[in-house]
């Protein structure tokens, strides 16, 4: 079974992207993956700055690095704020990629990222579904040496897309998420060095 990490770049209680992450987790489990569905609100990660880091990397950052490193496959669900990904997501990735000086495992900042197979999803009330956030997120992940699934899915009109149980109403939208999940699960055993 492929170990798959799924998280959304939002902590908002009624976030469309958190709902979409839940849909992806359900589909991945049905496909046979061992899924860890992470909520960033469960981590105490401060706003990144080098002075704070010099006093010691926060324990929850080390814990996050460990979780990320343990999963060869990821799906990141990115909200779109002002045409790009969220500050929360950027801050999380900045901390996770920051080397821990002198640490026997985490001195290399690329370690949690290198050779991970990553699928990208987004959701937005707008017609484009957060697609611009994904176009900004791609070069960041490539710079960290991740493999990106060629298919991505942006859920437009997200306010009308979910039923009362949090599942996608339209089959074509479900297939869009399924395609990303399937590509990640297919590629991870072939491309990951873990």
Tell me the pLDDT tens digit for each residue of 154-168.
Answer: 999 999 999 999 999
Query: Contact, 91 vs 97, CB < 8 A?
Result: no
Give the CA distances from residue 139 to residues 40, 73, 80, 163, in Å, rounded to whole numbers and listed in that order.
22, 18, 16, 33
Q: In this predicted model, what pLDDT tens digit does every residue of 102-156 receive, in sequence order? A: 899 999 888 999 999 999 999 999 999 999 999 999 999 999 999 999 999 999 9
| Nearest-angstrom CA–CA distance, 151 and 148 | 8
Q: No. of H helices and E strands in the chain?
A: 6, 6
Structural domains in the chain, CATH included, are 3-191 (3.40.50.360)
Q: Quick check: pTM over 0.75?
A: yes
Q: What is the pLDDT of residue 1?
A: 86
Q: 22-51: b or e for each residue (b if 16 or more CB lie within 10 Å)?
A: bbbbbbbeebebebbbbebeebebeebeee
Q: What is the pLDDT of residue 110?
A: 86
Tokens of 113: 């990222």
Q: In this predicted model, what pLDDT tens digit does every residue of 57-85 receive, in sequence order? A: 999 999 999 999 999 999 999 999 999 99
Give the CA distances from residue 164 to residues 6, 10, 23, 127, 160, in Å, rounded to whole numbers and listed in that order.
22, 20, 13, 21, 11
Tokens of 45: 């990660």
Q: What is the pLDDT of residue 118?
A: 98
């Amino acid at each position: 079974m492929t170990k798959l990490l799924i998280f959304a770049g939002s902590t908002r209680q009624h976030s469309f992207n958190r709902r979409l992450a839940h849909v992806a987790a359900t589909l991945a489990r049905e496909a046979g993956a061992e899924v860890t569905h992470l909520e960033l609100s469960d981590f105490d990660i401060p706003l990144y700055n080098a002075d704070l880091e010099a006093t010691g990397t926060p324990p929850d950052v080390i814990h996050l690095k460990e979780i990320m490193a343990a999963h060869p496959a990821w799906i990141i669900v990115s909200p779109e704020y002002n045409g790009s990904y969220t500050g929360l997501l950027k801050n999380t990735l900045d901390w996770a990629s920051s080397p821990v000086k002198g640490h026997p495992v985490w001195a290399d900042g690329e370690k949690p990222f290198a050779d991970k197979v990553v699928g990208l999803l987004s959701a937005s009330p707008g017609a484009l579904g957060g697609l611009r956030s994904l176009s900004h997120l791609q070069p960041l992940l490539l710079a960290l040496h991740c493999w990106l699934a060629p298919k991505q899915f942006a859920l437009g009109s997200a306010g009308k897309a979910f039923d009362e149980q949090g599942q996608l109403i339209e089959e074509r939208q479900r297939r869009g998420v399924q395609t990303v999940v399937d590509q990640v699960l297919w590629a991870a055993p072939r491309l990951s060095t873990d």
